[in-house]
Chain A
Amino acid sequence: DAKTTQPNSMESNEEEPVHLPCNHSTISGTDYIHWYRQLPSQGPEYVIHGLTSNVNNRMASLAIAEDRKSSTLILHRATLRDAAVYYCILSDYETSGSRLTFGEGTQLTVNP
């Protein structure tokens, strides 16, 4: 499985934008980039995913580098409810089947 690297923790202030980085230098051409987050006492929650182009949805934006070796999850206005562990995951059925290989993720703290 291609590996991702994320900072262990990040801190933000409420109502400010948050940029969560992820490095994936060994990404293959068919790897999708997925972001999930896990709030305390809950299962992981899908945030966004993409392949090559930047993606936007109601929760966040995903900015993918042109060489695809890194990506950034952007929360445009952080709220206290966004405090969670954020996971950046590569997924390619051809090499890794259906599995999502979760790493340690980034613990995001949002200050009021």
Chain B
Amino acid sequence: ETGVTQTPRHLVMGMTNKKSLKCEQHLGHNAMYWYKQSAKKPLELMFVYNFKEQTENNSVPSRFSPECPNSSHLFLHLHTLQPEDSALYLCASSQDPRGRQPQHFGDGTRLSIL
């Protein structure tokens, strides 16, 4: 039990589909994050939310649209993705967004774009 749950664990979609990834944390944390991990590349931070407000967007294409309705839930809405978007998408949360407390990760959603 990691405290951070991601669904679905696996997702296969076509380039024209619209789907959403979900992340839920039961740790009472205030900050939530989306990361992308492509094959043979380091994790890349995509978005940061603090108290439901987006505080960082690291030049992510608009075909990825995050949503944070409350401090416990984070979504990543996907539309018209490209084959190079196939990757492991990881959600994380932390109590303190200022880098002084650890981040807790979910096990990710493995996304494959056909």
How many residue pairs, one in A and one in B, have C-beta atoms under 8 Å apart? 63
Question: Knowing A98-B55, A98-B56, A102-B43 touch, does A46 contact B48 (C-beta < 8 A)?
Answer: no
Please give, as numbers and ranges, the residues of chain B lying within 8 Å of A71 by CB-CB distance. none
Q: How large is the interface on A (under 10, 10 to 19, 20 to 34, 35 or more residues)?
A: 20 to 34
**A104 close to B102 (CB less than 8 A):** no
Measured between C-beta atoms, what is the minimum distance from A2 to chain B in Å? 12
- Say yes or no: is A16 at the interface (Cβ < 8 Å to chain B): no
Interchain CB contact under 8 A, B31 and A43: no
Is the Cβ of B56 less than 8 Å from the Cβ of A97? yes
Query: In the complex, A81 Cα to B23 Cα: how many Å?
Result: 26
| Shortest CB distance B8–A (Å) | 15
Across the interface, do A97 and B42 meet the contact criterion of CB distance under 8 Å?
A: no
B107: which A residues are within 8 A, CB to CB?
Answer: 41-43
Cβ 8 A contact of A45, one of B45, B97, B98, B105: B105
Tell me whether A99 and B48 are in contact in the complex, defined as CB-CB below 8 angstroms, given that A43-B90, A43-B92, A49-B102 are known contacts: yes
The answer to whether A32 touches B42, judged by C-beta atoms less than 8 angstroms apart, is no
* Given A43-B2, A103-B42; A32-B100 close (CB under 8 Å): yes
Residue B104 at the chain A interface, CB threshold 8 Å: yes
Question: B82 → chain A, closest Cβ, in Å?
Answer: 23
Please report the C-alpha to C-alpha distance between residue A43 and residue B23 in the assembled complex, in whole angstroms.
13
Which B residues touch A103, using CB under 8 A? 42
A43 touches B99 (CB 8 A): no
- Is A106 at the interface (CB under 8 A from chain B)? no
B50 at the interface (CB under 8 A from A): yes
- Chain B contacts to A: CB under 8 angstroms: 2, 4, 31, 33, 42-43, 45, 48, 50, 55-56, 58, 90, 92, 94, 97-100, 102-108
